[in-house]
């Protein structure tokens, strides 16, 4: 187990620590960086649905010194572990297991070094409207999931405000019957909940992840309700980075702007987003216009999504909130969690999106979701379920396929001639 502490304590350290009776100590060099926020939930229209809400977000950025705290499998060059964070908020939740056994998995050092911080939602334990400026916390990195919250001396950290608005799915999915309207700002958020990943005794199965670095995924400046063209633009540029025959001079922002038209997206204040049934035809229209050899399939199976990620394909997921809204996001990683009998009990899905639509900034955030095998989302508590997945494949050039077939025929012919000569 490795303890994680902040790099600096801030001007409020002494009085806040004294108020909560916390111990104060210096931080070790190179420890993971944790940044805390209080969520201000923006409206799909104007203003807020909940300012100074009871929702917190912690951004967890692992550093090279954290590798030793992870379990390493040399046969697959895979690093695995679990992150736990306990928080104390004055006039809020104390000894609060905010992040419970968040699974992390990296397929090689390149994956670890190129990962984005994990942005994890949790419960501050305050009454909505109360401004939180600081909190105490204790964090650990563990090789196995814990059964109880870790304990130790608390450090302190500042808490800044973070405006959140993402999503933008409209219409009814003809295959699942799920109905959407807008994004996270269509309704006030539900009561905050802590993040729960794995339970004690559970282990990780082999997951799927993108071939490139998360830090190389193109950022997009999304309009309000622009998640569908935004996720798809990231996908197209990712496929371009992995396949030589997928080539467009358009930037990710150019792709996004074109997709808003082909997908007939309704964006901006009061927009409803993109009809879920317009994603595939809208993307196909863009691919055809740009002569991009990409095949897009709607596939609801998470096992297929994992396999696709490991084959340099791309995956987008449609999520249903607990309110009216929905969200479409680029998937960067899926980690299965197994019980003692090796059965999958949940998945951790990592997505990349623009966390604050409409702020005229091209941004990427990696958000984590705990999902049951039936698609129900158990964390974070503002989302209900996975609706479906879209898988995008770079189609090989005809000449390459023909050459491969010709080589196979030649091999069979040669083997047949050799067999004949040996029996003559």
Mind listing the pLDDT tens digit for each residue in 164-180? 999 999 999 999 999 99
Contact between 226 and 168 (Cβ < 8 Å) = yes
Specify the pLDDT at position 2: 73
Show the domain range for 190: 2-394
- Mean of all residue pLDDT scores within the chain: 90
The proportion of the chain whose per-residue pLDDT surpasses 90, expressed as a percent, equals 85
Question: Is residue 414 included in any domain, yes or no?
Answer: no
Question: Is residue 424 included in any domain, yes or no?
Answer: no
Question: Is residue 423 included in any domain, yes or no?
Answer: no
Q: Where does the pLDDT of residue 31 fall: very low under 50, low under 70, confident under 90, or very high at 90 and above?
A: low
Long-range contacts of 2-5 (CB under 8 A, 24+ apart): 2/31, 2/66, 2/68, 2/69, 2/140, 2/141, 2/142, 3/31, 3/138, 3/139, 3/140, 3/152, 4/31, 4/32, 4/34, 4/66, 4/139, 4/140, 4/141, 5/31, 5/139, 5/155
Mean pLDDT for the stretch of residues 344-355:
99
Specify the pLDDT at position 399: 60
Specify the pLDDT at position 94: 92
Q: Where does the pLDDT of residue 12 fall: very low under 50, low under 70, confident under 90, or very high at 90 and above?
A: very low
Q: Is the pLDDT of residue 189 over 60?
A: yes
Closest CA to 357 of 37, 50, 41, 35: 41
- Select the more confidently predicted residue: 401 or 69: 69
Q: Is the pLDDT of residue 267 over 80?
A: yes
Number of domains making up the chain: 1
Looking up residue 146, the CATH number of its domain turns out to be 3.90.70.10
What is the 3-state composition of the chain as percent helix, strand, coil, each rounded to the nearest 5?
25, 40, 40
Question: Is residue 405 included in any domain, yes or no?
Answer: no
Question: Is residue 325 included in any domain, yes or no?
Answer: yes
Specify the pLDDT at position 227: 99
Question: Is residue 411 included in any domain, yes or no?
Answer: no
CB-based contacts of 94, cutoff 8 Å, min separation 6 = 20, 88, 125
Specify the pLDDT at position 407: 54
Contact between 117 and 32 (Cβ < 8 Å) = no
Mean pLDDT for the stretch of residues 376-401:
91
Q: Is the pLDDT of residue 306 over 90?
A: yes
Mind listing the pLDDT tens digit for each residue in 129-144? 999 999 999 999 999 9
Question: Is residue 420 included in any domain, yes or no?
Answer: no
Element (H, E) at 96: strand 96-107
Q: Is the pLDDT of residue 353 over 90?
A: yes
Q: Is the pLDDT of residue 326 over 80?
A: yes
Specify the pLDDT at position 338: 99
Specify the pLDDT at position 68: 95
């Amino acid at each position: 187990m490795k303890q994680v502490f902040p790099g600096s304590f801030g001007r409020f350290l002494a009085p806040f620590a004294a108020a909560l009776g916390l111990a104060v100590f210096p931080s070790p060099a190179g420890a993971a960086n944790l940044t805390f926020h209080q969520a201000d939930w923006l409206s799909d229209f104007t203003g807020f649905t909940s300012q100074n809400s009871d929702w917190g977000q912690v951004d967890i950025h692992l550093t090279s010194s954290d590798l030793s705290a992870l379990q390493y499998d040399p046969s697959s060059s895979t690093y695995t572990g679990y992150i736990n964070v306990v928080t104390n908020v004055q006039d809020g939740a104390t000894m609060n297991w905010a992040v419970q056994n968040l699974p992390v998995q990296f397929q090689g050092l390149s994956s670890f070094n190129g990962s984005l911080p994990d942005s994890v939602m949790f419960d501050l334990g305050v009454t909505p409207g109360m401004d939180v400026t600081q909190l105490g916390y204790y964090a650990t990195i563990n090789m196995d999931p814990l059964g109880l919250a870790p304990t130790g001396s608390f450090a302190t950290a500042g808490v800044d405000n973070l405006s959140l608005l993402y999503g933008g799915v409209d219409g009814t999915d003809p295959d699942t019957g799920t109905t959407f309207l807008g994004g996270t700002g269509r309704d006030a958020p539900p009561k905050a909940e802590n993040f729960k990943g794995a339970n004690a005794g559970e282990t990780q199965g082999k997951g799927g992840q993108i071939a490139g670095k998360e830090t190389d995924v193109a950022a997009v400046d999304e309009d309000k309700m622009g998640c569908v063209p935004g996720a798809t633009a990231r996908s197209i540029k990712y496929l371009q980075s992995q396949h030589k025959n997928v080539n467009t001079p358009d930037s990710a922002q150019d792709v996004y702007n074109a997709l808003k038209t082909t997908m007939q997206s309704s964006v901006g204040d009061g927009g409803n987003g993109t009809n879920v049934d317009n994603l595939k035809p809208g993307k196909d229209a863009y691919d055809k216009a740009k002569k991009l050899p990409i095949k897009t399939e709607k596939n609801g199976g998470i096992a297929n999504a994992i396999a696709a990620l490991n084959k340099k394909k791309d995956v987008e997921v449609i999520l249903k909130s607990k309110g009216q809204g929905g969200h479409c996001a680029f998937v960067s990683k899926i980690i299965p969690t197994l019980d003692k009998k090796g059965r999958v009990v949940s998945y951790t899905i990592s997505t990349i999106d623009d966390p604050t639509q409409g702020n005229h900034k091209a941004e990427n955030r990696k958000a984590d979701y705990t999902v049951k095998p039936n698609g129900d989302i158990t964390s974070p508590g503002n989302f209900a379920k996975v609706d479906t997945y879209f898988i995008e494949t770079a189609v090989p050039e005809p000449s390459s396929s023909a050459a491969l077939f010709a080589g196979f025929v030649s091999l069979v012919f040669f083997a047949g001639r050799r067999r004949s000569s040996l029996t003559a």
